[in-house]
């Protein structure tokens, strides 16, 4: 494909996203599936264009408005191409598979666009986040707002978690090196390896043999901080597709019982194939009808450890899902906060006396993080704050994370991971 055809494909994807609101990765998968003639290099170029526009939507729209150009996906793509030094007249030429041409008057306006105008633009424009979220982001990130939002505009690395049931990090790294793949050990997670570029990981024999799973380093840390042990009863209450369940099962060396629960049967169904590939046999799955499922009452006070990786705004994963920042609304956050409290209120019943409860999100927002931890502590006097291991005890610098007495948080600029939050509690032992 020529560059013009790649740009036209990107515009089509952007239009479809606006119409359907489907997640970007799902949208692209469907688009490429219907167009199998598109080669791998063209797919990579289209994906890069697509995600770049989504990451810079506010900035690009502002530049269009400064010269009174219409803010539509064709214009967004055009101004981004121009900022990359590409000639619009050559790309938007109306030829087959190419975008329609701009009138001469519009091209003249494009030529007047000055990126220096961004210096005086509002903060939400420069840093590409929804204007309505500004107060919450300022309250949550403080003087880290700018650097964290800039980091959210970068492409995330590809991280994998080594499956210690089958291999070691050094052994897997050496195996990958023999295949010409360069990976570095993650600095925070003891199980992680990182690739800077795109790698066809699912085609590797080591993946098919269950030697690793794709998982952000920050997500790996959440599992590690639970400090689960062999022989315990552990419940992953919002397990999704089971990434953290698999990590904890490896920590338990397949000994004990690990229940992976979720209301989404399709996502939980993926865990069956994943656990078989990983050689995990101590995970049992249960589809919940809701957070109040009768299963919770039936298993009350049985668990040594309960992990609640709660449904959340996903603001901590904007590097990987840049489109989600534009789909989120204030009402969404309010509903999520209420759901998180309902989940906490129900799932806490599963923790036995002396057991531990971990509440986690992939959110940047205090409303979903620190404020929820404080709410839970106030509502549940039979639980007390559980001090988490200090970073230096875990083998990395405290400067890489934000820590409190019973809380732990990673951030993209600070930690070079997605943003995750964890709060830890223990149920008081019975006298």
Structure tokens at 228: 């689960």
Core vs surface per residue 394-423: b (16+ CB within 10 A) or e: bebeeebbbeeebbbbbbbbbbbbbbbbbb
User: Contact, 333 vs 365, CB < 8 A?
Assistant: yes
Best CA proximity match to 224, nearest among 245, 251, 193, 243: 251
Question: Which of the residues 238, 261, 312, 362 is marked catalytic?
Answer: 362
Element at 192 (helix H, strand E): strand 192-195
Structure tokens at 360: 């986690």
User: Contact, 151 vs 412, CB < 8 A?
Assistant: yes
Best CA proximity match to 333, nearest among 317, 351, 314: 314
Residue labelled with tokens 């994370």: 401
Sheet holding 212-214, edge to edge: 184-185, 192-195, 158-162, 212-214
Best CA proximity match to 145, nearest among 386, 389, 413, 378: 413
User: Contact, 63 vs 117, CB < 8 A?
Assistant: yes
Pairing of strands 283-287, 257-262: parallel
Contact partners, residue 262, CB within 8 Å, separation at least 6: 238, 239, 240, 268, 287, 288
Distance from C-alpha of 235 to C-alpha of 232, rounded to nearest angstrom: 10
Best CA proximity match to 372, nearest among 386, 358, 382: 358
If DSSP states are collapsed to H, E and C, what string results for 113-166? Answer: CCHHHHHHCCHHHHCCCCHHHHHHHHHHHHHHHHHHHHHHCCCCCEEEEECCCC
User: Contact, 151 vs 128, CB < 8 A?
Assistant: no
Q: Is 400 marked active-site?
A: no
Beta bridge partners, 210, equal none
For 304-354, give the DSSP string: EEEEEE-----GGGTTT-TTHHHH--HHHHHHHHHHHHHHHHHHGGGEEEE
Distance from C-alpha of 389 to C-alpha of 253, rounded to nearest angstrom: 21
Q: Hey, which residues are catalytic here?
A: 362
């Amino acid at each position: 494909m020529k560059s013009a055809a790649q740009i036209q494909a990107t515009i089509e994807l952007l239009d479809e996203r606006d119409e359907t609101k489907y997640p970007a990765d799902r949208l692209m998968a469907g688009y490429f599936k219907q167009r199998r003639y598109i080669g791998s290099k063209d797919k990579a170029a289209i994906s890069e264009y697509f995600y770049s526009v989504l990451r810079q939507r506010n900035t690009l729209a502002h530049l269009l408005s400064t010269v009174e150009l219409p803010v539509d996906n064709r214009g967004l793509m055009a101004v981004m191409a121009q900022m990359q030094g590409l000639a619009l007249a050559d790309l938007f030429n109306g030829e087959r598979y190419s975008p329609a041409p701009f009138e001469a008057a519009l091209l003249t306006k494009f030529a007047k666009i000055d990126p220096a105008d961004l210096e005086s633009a509002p903060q939400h424009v420069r840093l590409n986040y929804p204007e309505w979220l500004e107060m919450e982001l300022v309250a949550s990130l403080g003087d880290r707002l700018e650097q964290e939002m800039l980091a959210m505009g970068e492409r995330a690395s590809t991280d994998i978690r080594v499956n210690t049931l089958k291999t070691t990090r050094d052994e897997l790294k050496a195996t990958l090196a023999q295949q010409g793949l360069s990976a570095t050990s993650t600095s925070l997670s003891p199980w992680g390896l990182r690739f800077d570029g795109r790698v066809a990981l699912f085609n590797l024999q080591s993946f098919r043999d269950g030697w690793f799973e794709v998982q952000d380093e920050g997500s790996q840390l959440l599992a590690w901080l639970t400090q689960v042990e062999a022989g315990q009863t552990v419940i992953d209450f919002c397990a999704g597709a089971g990434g953290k369940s698999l990590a904890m099962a490896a920590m338990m060396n397949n000994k004990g019982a690990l229940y992976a629960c979720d209301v989404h049967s399709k996502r939980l169904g993926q865990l069956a194939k994943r656990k078989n590939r990983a050689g995990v046999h101590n995970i049992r799955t249960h589809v919940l009808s809701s957070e109040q499922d009768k299963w919770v009452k039936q298993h009350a006070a049985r668990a040594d450890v309960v992990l609640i990786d709660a449904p959340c705004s996903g603001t901590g994963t904007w590097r990987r899902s840049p489109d989600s920042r534009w789909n989120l609304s204030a009402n969404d956050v309010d509903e999520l906060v209420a759901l998180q409290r309902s989940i906490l209120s129900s799932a806490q019943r599963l923790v036995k006396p002396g057991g531990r409860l971990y509440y986690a999100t992939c959110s940047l927002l205090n409303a979903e993080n620190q404020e929820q931890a404080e709410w839970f502590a106030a509502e549940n006097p039979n639980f007390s704050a559980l001090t988490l291991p200090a970073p230096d005890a875990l083998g990395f610098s405290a400067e890489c994370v934000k820590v409190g007495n019973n809380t732990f948080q990673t951030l993209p600029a600070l930690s070079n991971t997605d943003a995750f939050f964890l709060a830890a509690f223990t149920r008081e032992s019975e006298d």
